[in-house]
Chains A and B, each alone.
Chain A
Amino acid sequence: MASLSLKHIEKVYENGYHAVSDFNLEIEDKEFIIFVGPSGCGKSTTLRMIAGLEDISSGEFLIDGVKMNDVEPKDRDIAMVFQSYALYPHMTVRDNMGFALKLRKVPQEEINKKVDEAAKILNLEKFLDRKPKALSGGQRQRVAMGRAIVRNPKVFLMDEPLSNLDAKLRVQMRTEISKLHEKLGTTIIYVTHDQTEAMTLGTRIVVMKDGIVQQINTPDHLYNKPCNLFVAGFIGSPQMNFMDAVVEVKGSDAFLHIGENTLKVPDDKKSVLIDGGYDGKTVVLGIRPENIKDDPDFLAANADSQIKSTIGVKEQLGAEVFLYFDVNGAQTIARVEPDTPLKTGSDATFALDMKKIHLFDKDTELNLLYQE
């Protein structure tokens, strides 16, 4: 069990490529931290620096207050689960799981006991004498987890551990990992590019882009208060809708013009536009699909926040319906109730839940309503 501290961590490769810039993070004991971002954003590099597999170009990395920059991976008391599982093909499952303990000269009896315990937790008892090639993807993944568990390390590092599994197994293993975190209470750092994994597993999420941390906060906070366009677009599925809107200030009110549609900005949000001098300028309006509604009661109550369009595609998913339509050139999705009468090709009027809108500066891409 441990707390970690990353202070001004940088990674610059020999060719001058800046993989990670000024990474700062304090991780409390028993936290489940997710590094998320698109490919090449530096999330895996940061994890590898924590593991000791990559040198830290500058900055300080501490575990329980002890500087780890130059400590060998084996002496950091961490365990890592790799994307490819990295199981030793020539060893049985038992040997794979007990390998780290054997290297530490733990008595064989104790190794067996710990391996048996981990195998019981992970339902691997039947497979202990098999070699990795005789296991399915999910079983291999569990062996990789088991190898980490038997060590009882201070920190678990997981580098996209579910990305090689099929969709069904991924959901199942996601739950298993979550349960495991509850059970073991170990600090976990988990890298993924899948925002669903990030949202469901993490106690806090670190969103990265081009080696720079965009925002660090709880899943709920990131979803509801993204600090910029990137985070807003990355977190959530389907992603947030974005539309260019021209601001008009009339007296003490502010309006957004999106093509022929005019939306009245609620009182609690208009001051940033008025005080920020956005009158006549274009901002980006962001709204999540579930906040675009088509039910008559909501439409009647929100006459000043309506948009009109024609339904391009209707996706019936059973519990909900996705409607795809165009708003002033921007492809927009609404997540509505399954009993919606709207069909592909029909003209539609939607009302936006203006309490849930986000406003982004067109140039800086920062959220005008929430800053960290």
Chain B
Amino acid sequence: MTKNEQAAKARKRKHAIMITLLIIVFILFILPFILVLINVFKDQADITANPLALIGEHGFTTKNFPEAMRKMDFLNVFKNSLIITTCATILTILVSAMASFVIVRNGKWKACAILFALMIASMVIPFQVLMVPLVSVYGGVFGILNHRWLLILLHTGFSVSMATFMFHGAIHSNIPLELEEAALIDGCSRWQTFWKIVFPLLKPTIATVAIIDAMAFWNDYLLPSLVLTDKELYTIPIATQAFYGTYSTDIGLVMAALLLAMLPILILYLFLQKYIVAGVTSGAVKG
């Protein structure tokens, strides 16, 4: 066997090991989701008898869904999650896109440089460090817990640094200053230049920030559980947890609740996924 053939064989072996490892990791990740999918359409008896069977003895059923929806007050918690996620995501995008535009285009201002440095620094502070003072300040001193808008503002506040960082890179690398100058000469004010020229060109980054933040807000359990204690204001993760605590024996219902909880964000992801890579890598390579 020649040296080249040996090298080719070694390369193939390495490739095979890598593929095997990837398949194992993929199965580990996808298995819980598959279990939810196959068991959600079975009744309690079939799940207990064989949780791995695709269809139970009693056949295919969708009765878990209306039951779960009613018991976890799904429409209400869905509405809460939707309002909070949508508002916080939009607010994060607007605030951070505008902030990064000002920071990038006024690089000589020391205030901008300091502000940006503080934002980057704030990203390394773990949320767990802040949660106790946060609840005691907003709950104890101001007494404004249990409001959706408080959670919206907190979500925005915690996510705006990362979003500003991403928009900063995108504007810095992908929006030529000449475009803004052309707009100024064409008759735009600074405000119009941002909204009519810069903002539409940030579409890939907007999509990336939207999906990353929407997923984080939708799935967040810790912050809503600290801020919202009123059952009427529960978001899906809190409601799912509460539901699981009450109906942990009826696994079919739990599966239905879990699927209902993850479905909306999964759909959003499928719609926006093509922008994610473009947004994350924007500015990495000069176009």
Interface size class of B (residues with CB under 8 A): 10 to 19
Please tell me if the beta carbons of B176 and A84 are within 8 angstroms of each other in the complex: yes
Query: Given that A82-B178, A84-B176, A103-B192 are contacting pairs, would A90 and B200 also be in contact in the complex, using a CB cutoff of 8 Å?
Result: yes
Contacts A52-B184, A100-B186 supplied; 20 other A-B pairs, CB < 8 Å:
A14-B108, A51-B185, A53-B181, A72-B184, A73-B181, A74-B185, A74-B186, A74-B187, A74-B188, A79-B185, A80-B181, A82-B181, A86-B178, A86-B181, A88-B197, A89-B201, A90-B201, A90-B203, A100-B187, A147-B182
Please tell me if the beta carbons of B184 and A103 are within 8 angstroms of each other in the complex: no
- Cα distance A73–B192 in the bound complex, in angstroms: 14
Does B117 make an interface contact (CB < 8 A)?
A: no
Taking CB atoms, residues of chain A closer than 8 Å to B197 are 88
Q: Contact residues of B with A, CB < 8 Å?
A: 108, 176, 178-179, 181-189, 192, 197, 200-201, 203
Does A168 make an interface contact (CB < 8 A)?
A: no
Taking CB atoms, residues of chain A closer than 8 Å to B201 are 89-90
- Cα distance A99–B188 in the bound complex, in angstroms: 10
- Cα distance A151–B185 in the bound complex, in angstroms: 11
Please tell me if the beta carbons of B178 and A84 are within 8 angstroms of each other in the complex: yes
Look across to chain A and name the residue whose beta carbon is closest to the beta carbon of B203: A90
Does A250 make an interface contact (CB < 8 A)?
A: no
Taking CB atoms, residues of chain B closer than 8 Å to A99 are 183, 186
Q: Mark A263-301, 1 if CB is under 8 A from B, else 0.
A: 000000000000000000000000000000000000000
- Cα distance A103–B186 in the bound complex, in angstroms: 8
Does A104 make an interface contact (CB < 8 A)?
A: yes
- Cα distance A53–B184 in the bound complex, in angstroms: 9
Taking CB atoms, residues of chain A closer than 8 Å to B179 are 86, 88
CB within 8 Å of B: which A151-182 residues:
151
Does A78 make an interface contact (CB < 8 A)?
A: yes
- Cα distance A52–B183 in the bound complex, in angstroms: 13
Q: Contact residues of A with B, CB < 8 Å?
A: 14, 51-53, 72-74, 78-80, 82-84, 86, 88-90, 99-100, 103-104, 147, 151
Please tell me if the beta carbons of A86 and B176 are within 8 angstroms of each other in the complex: yes
Look across to chain A and name the residue whose beta carbon is closest to the beta carbon of B199: A90
Chain B binding surface, main DSSP class: helix
A104: contacting residue among B184, B187, B200, B203, CB under 8 A:
B187
- Cα distance A234–B241 in the bound complex, in angstroms: 79
Please tell me if the beta carbons of A103 and B187 are within 8 angstroms of each other in the complex: yes
Please tell me if the beta carbons of B181 and A74 are within 8 angstroms of each other in the complex: no
- Cα distance A99–B179 in the bound complex, in angstroms: 13
For this complex, 10 residue pairs linking A to B, each with C-beta atoms less than 8 Å apart, are A14-B108, A51-B181, A52-B184, A72-B184, A79-B185, A80-B182, A88-B197, A90-B200, A103-B187, A103-B192
A91 to chain B, nearest CB (A): 9
B181 to chain A, nearest CB (A): 5
B182: contacting residue among A72, A82, A90, A104, CB under 8 A:
A82
Taking CB atoms, residues of chain B closer than 8 Å to A78 are 185
Taking CB atoms, residues of chain A closer than 8 Å to B178 are 82-84, 86
- Cα distance A147–B189 in the bound complex, in angstroms: 18
- Cα distance A78–B188 in the bound complex, in angstroms: 13
A71 to chain B, nearest CB (A): 12
- Cα distance A147–B186 in the bound complex, in angstroms: 9
Look across to chain B and name the residue whose beta carbon is closest to the beta carbon of A79: B185
B254 to chain A, nearest CB (A): 46
A188 to chain B, nearest CB (A): 15
Please tell me if the beta carbons of B176 and A73 are within 8 angstroms of each other in the complex: no
Please tell me if the beta carbons of A73 and B200 are within 8 angstroms of each other in the complex: no
Please tell me if the beta carbons of B188 and A103 are within 8 angstroms of each other in the complex: yes
Please tell me if the beta carbons of A74 and B184 are within 8 angstroms of each other in the complex: yes
Please tell me if the beta carbons of A80 and B185 are within 8 angstroms of each other in the complex: yes
Taking CB atoms, residues of chain A closer than 8 Å to B187 are 74, 100, 103-104
Look across to chain A and name the residue whose beta carbon is closest to the beta carbon of B175: A89
Taking CB atoms, residues of chain A closer than 8 Å to B184 are 52-53, 72-74
B186 to chain A, nearest CB (A): 4
B86 to chain A, nearest CB (A): 24
- Cα distance A313–B183 in the bound complex, in angstroms: 51
- Give the top 9 A-B pairs by smallest Cβ distance, nearest first: A86-B182, A100-B186, A103-B187, A86-B178, A74-B187, A90-B200, A73-B184, A73-B185, A82-B178
- Cα distance A53–B181 in the bound complex, in angstroms: 7
Taking CB atoms, residues of chain A closer than 8 Å to B108 are 14
A158 to chain B, nearest CB (A): 12
Taking CB atoms, residues of chain B closer than 8 Å to A88 are 179, 182-183, 197
- Cα distance A78–B185 in the bound complex, in angstroms: 7
Taking CB atoms, residues of chain B closer than 8 Å to A14 are 108
- Cα distance A84–B192 in the bound complex, in angstroms: 22
B107 to chain A, nearest CB (A): 13
Look across to chain A and name the residue whose beta carbon is closest to the beta carbon of B197: A88
Taking CB atoms, residues of chain B closer than 8 Å to A82 are 178, 181-182
Taking CB atoms, residues of chain B closer than 8 Å to A100 are 186-187
Taking CB atoms, residues of chain A closer than 8 Å to B200 are 90
Look across to chain B and name the residue whose beta carbon is closest to the beta carbon of A159: B178
